[in-house]
Structure 1
Amino acid sequence: MTDPADADTLRERALTTLTTARARTTLLTSCVEDPDLTAQHSPLMSPLVWDLAHISNQEEQWLLRTVAGREAIRPEIDGIYDAFEHPRAARPSLPLLPPSEARNYAAEVRGRVMDILESTAFHGTRLTEAGFAFGMIAQHEQQHDETMLITHQLRKGPQALTAPDPDPVPLFTGPSEVLVPGGPFTMGTSTEPWALDNERPAHRREVPAFYMDVTPVTNAAYQAFIADGGYDTERWWTPEGWAHIRQHSIHAPLFWRRDGKQWLRRRFGVTEVVPPDEPVLHVCWYEADAYARWAGRRLPTEAEWEKAARHDPAGDRSTRYPWGDADPAPEHANLGQRHLRPAPAGSYPEGESPLGVRQLIGDVWEWTASDFLPYPGFQAFPYKEYSEVFFGPEHKVLRGGAFAVDAVACRGTFRNWDYPIRRQIFSGFRTARSAADA
């Protein structure tokens, strides 16, 4: 039985995270006119109006029908908004709810969810324990908000979103890498109440000593790779990566273009000079891997990344975040679409790990060398389509979150994954090297 005081805390957390997600969804779908909501801005992405109704359909199915046992509001649209039934490129041809109807549906579902939130007992089933189902839906909405932000980046036309830039910081002059000692650590979690199935269970993992970059690779460093002929030198690339960049004539990160002696980029409708001290953004796994080879290094494995982010040698324990167990605050990381760009490399000293690694959470998703695979003892929950169907060598793991990620959908154990060709996502990387090679 959940203590009443604990239930109140859980109810407040669920309310806050759901409300925060909906405010962001509203911003992303109200800053453009209806034609931009119904258009498909890239075959890689859904129309924004599809995401809006899909978010609410999932909320209805899990919170109203499954948790509360309520009668379906719009059962006839379930198939239209089934992400596994219709690939993104085909979604514009579906009989989608028009923007006004999608908004009304979202409001109706959310109103009923607020009613059941007041009476839900946070115990009894795995879905209701500690408010998991509410946390799952808040994370789902925030993940689609990130997807919609990607659509905004791909969208042609004038700027529709604005946000203040991160605070300027002095050029980072600290060490370029730190030693992460070898030995076992606890990877994953069995106690984080809103952790998703692929983060579970906690298990011991042996990791040999390695060196990790203190900050993500910057635009200036990546430009050196380009200038040295990185995209024209086959030996830095895997065979698949070399074939991919040749086939698609890739010579720089997505949204970059050369203008005389400088690089420009397009960012949410604005063209600007590529800032040298920001982490590089919009590179695929093949590009990250090639850069690491060129630099005489490699991408960290997923286990190495998590050890660098969570292992506290002083207590031989794994923390929730690099800075400890406290929830993320603005001084720790660049999260939640607070800014529309990464902060300069070396920012957020209060968010660094005990070993001195910075910006492991926020700013850019970081590609790792690892395939997306289940942990020992993995159990799909509450449906296999969240993680299980994606396991295998086709997907590479990304860690750490980006400026586009909300704190509810980002923690030291959180796992993201995508195809190694993906570049529209807010992806960067850092490099590592084995201590045995030193």
Structure 2
Amino acid sequence: MSMRATQQAGTAERAEADWKARAWRELDAARARTRAMLEPVPETELMRQHSPLMSPLVWDVAHMANYEEQWLLRALGAPAITDPAFDAIYDAFRHPRNTRATLPLLEPEAAWAYATRVREAVRAHLEAVPLESADPLLAGGFVYGMVAQHEQQHAETLAATLQLMTEVEYLPVEALRPRPGAVPQHEVFIPGGPVPLGNTDAWAYDNERPRHLVDVAPFLLDAHPVTTGDYLVFVESGGYEDARWWDPKGFEWIQAEGLRHPLFWLPRGQHVWLRRRFGTVEPLPRDEPVQHVSWYEADAYARWAGKRLPTEAEWEKAAQGSDGVERAYPWGNDAPTDAHANLGGSRWGVSPVGSHPLGRSADGVFGLLGDVWEWTSSDFQPYAGFRAFPYREYSEVFFGTASKVLRGGSWASAPVAVRNSFRNWDFPIRRQIFAGFRCARDVR
């Protein structure tokens, strides 16, 4: 073998080792987080349906194991290791969340044992995965990244379920949150021009593809997400009673539901507000990004403030920066750390605005990743040239006008599932998710 061929072979082996090391690091991190989150929960509460919006917690455990078995074993040629009936029980598309408690679910000990068996088989099978393969599932370790991101997305769903849980107090062990001084809100001018939307990274999802250019007109964007204190002014000034600010469907919805403030806020007299955050009732902080607001609520506030929600193209333009440099994250291509953003779930809540100055974008926008998902004005639609991979049910079946796009990730999102191009989506009435927003404005 020539020296050049030897060097090329060595480079290929290192690249292979790199994606395998990354895959195991992310898979193990996701499992450790899931176990740590659920360890304090009594078995009876793991089996209980705490909200019709969410699954029983134990369903998620076995669902994650079944998903891993299907994609990291069977799809790669390894034999099934468990009862094929699990495929139907833990199929998220066959059973709506509000029906899953009626299924013959594995109890907690059996669900964890199933997850362990699958992971051990996956670890053993990885050794047989070829260094080079024509299978697109293995390109850059895509399918391993898909499964790791899937489990971390379910960890965020588990956090939302734990927040909705009222039968027992869930008191998480929290990492300290930074406490910066007061940070004033201001607008940042984002020059117009082309922005490359999407991602070509091996672990990017199908809805992030293909990468393409979109022209964006100049606009102004809030430097920080809208805070609880800002939103409180809207609430106390009668914003929920004034139809002028609301999408007609949204106003009809809040009237029917009797909504007068964000989810988990607790009014306690004139200008006195508390909130429930997991097992704790505490004063409503004024300096944190508002969260647990629906798209309708975000849109109404923006109208009231004389602004609007940004489009997802504008949001990604702000995250990429206007200097033409391609960045995976607003600050560059370095992987997220605690200094850049509030991610990973260890703080169990949002940090005050301005807490992560190293996460500032090239144009001077703060907090684009982490703390709260940010609603955009855009419907969840495919990019031109979209191709479903590896299955339609991840993205394609949700395209349309029923869901709005969210960007940026929340405090409960894992770094592996957060990047400038990542697209989340949900119905405009959803409030249990860790969502907030920032406002935009046309340049006149």
Specify the TM-score bucket, using the shorter chain as the normaliser: over 0.9
Moved more, 38-47 or 61-70: 61-70
2:149 paired with 1:165: no
After TM superposition, the structure 1 = structure 2 runs for residues 295-334 of structure 1, keeping only pairs within 5 Å, are: 295-313=305-323, 316-334=324-342
Match of 1:417 among 406, 425, 443: 425
Please give the alpha-carbon distance, in whole angstroms, between the structure 1 residues aligned to 2:25 and 2:119.
13
Q: 1:207-238 CA distances to partner (integer Å, 9 max, x unpaired)?
A: 00000000000000000101111001000001
SS of aligned partner of 1:204? strand
Q: Is the contact made by 1:373 and 1:391 (CA closer than 8 Å) also made in structure 2? A: yes
Distance 1:303 1:127 in 2: 28
Q: For 2:73 and 2:353, locate their aligned partners in 1 and report how far apart those are by CA, in whole Å.
A: 44
**Which among 80, 90, 106 is matched to residue 97 of structure 1?**
106
* Distance in 2 separating the partners of 1:40 and 1:410: 29
| 1:252 and 2:261 are equivalent in the alignment | yes
Give the Cα separation in 2 of the matches to 1:230 and 1:412: 32
Q: 1:388 aligns with which of 396, 401, 409?
A: 396
Query: What corresponds to 1:39 in structure 2?
Result: 48
The question of 1:267 aligning with 2:277 is answered yes
RMSD value, Cα: 1.1
**1:59 match: secondary structure:** helix
Residue by residue over 1:72-96, the C-alpha shift from the partner in whole angstroms, topping out at 9 and shown as x without a partner, is: 4221211000000000000000000
DSSP 3-state at the match of 2:88: coil
Is the contact made by 1:32 and 1:160 (CA closer than 8 Å) also made in structure 2?
no
Query: Amino acid of the residue matched to residue 269 of structure 1?
Result: G
Q: Give the match for residue 410 of structure 2.
A: 402
How many correspondences in the alignment?
Answer: 432
Equivalent position amino acid for 2:43 in 1: D
* 2:296/2:429 contact within 8 Å kept: yes
Residue 284 of structure 1, aligned match among 286, 291, 294: 294
The within-5 A match list for 1:2-17 is 3-17=12-26
Cα distance between partner residues in 1 of 2:130 and 2:172: 39
Equivalent pair of 1:122/1:130 in contact (CA under 8 Å): no
Deviation by residue 1:297-325 (Cα, 9 ceiling, x = unmatched): 00000000000011341xx1331000001
1:136-151 alignment runs, 5 A limit = 136-151=146-161
Q: Structure 1 length as normaliser, TM-score?
A: 0.97
Letter in 2 for 1:99: P
2:427 aligned partner, one-letter code: Y
Q: 1:371 aligns with which of 368, 376, 379?
A: 379
Who is 1:52 aligned against?
61
Per-residue displacement from partner, 1:312-345 (whole Å, max 9, x unpaired)? 41xx133100000111111100000021111101
SS of residue paired to 1:205: strand
Match of 2:4 in 1: none
Stretch deviating more after TM superposition (299-308 or 154-163): 154-163
Aligned partner of 2:244 in structure 1 is 235
AA of the residue aligned to 2:197: M
User: Percent same amino acid at aligned positions?
Assistant: 51
Q: C-alpha separation between the residues in 1 aligned to 2:125 and 2:325?
A: 38
CA offset at residue 114 of structure 1? 1.1
CA distance in structure 2 between the aligned counterparts of 1:74 and 1:245, rounded to whole angstroms: 45
- Partners of 1:56 and 1:264 in 2: how far apart? 38
Preserved contact between residue 345 and residue 414 of structure 2 (Cα < 8 Å) = yes
For 1:217 and 1:165, how far apart are their aligned partners in 2?
Answer: 22
Of stretches 269-278 and 304-313 in structure 1, the one that deviates more from structure 2 is 304-313
Give the equivalent residue in structure 1 for 2:368.
360
- Report if aligned partners of 2:190, 2:322 keep a CA contact under 8 Å in 1: no
Q: Does 1:177 align with 2:194?
A: no
Matched, 1:129 2:129: no
Compute the displacement of 1:159 (Å).
Answer: 2.8
Task: Write the distance in 2 (CA, Å) between the matches of 1:122 and 1:370.
Answer: 40
The whole-number CA distance in structure 1 between the counterparts of 2:405 and 2:279 is 29
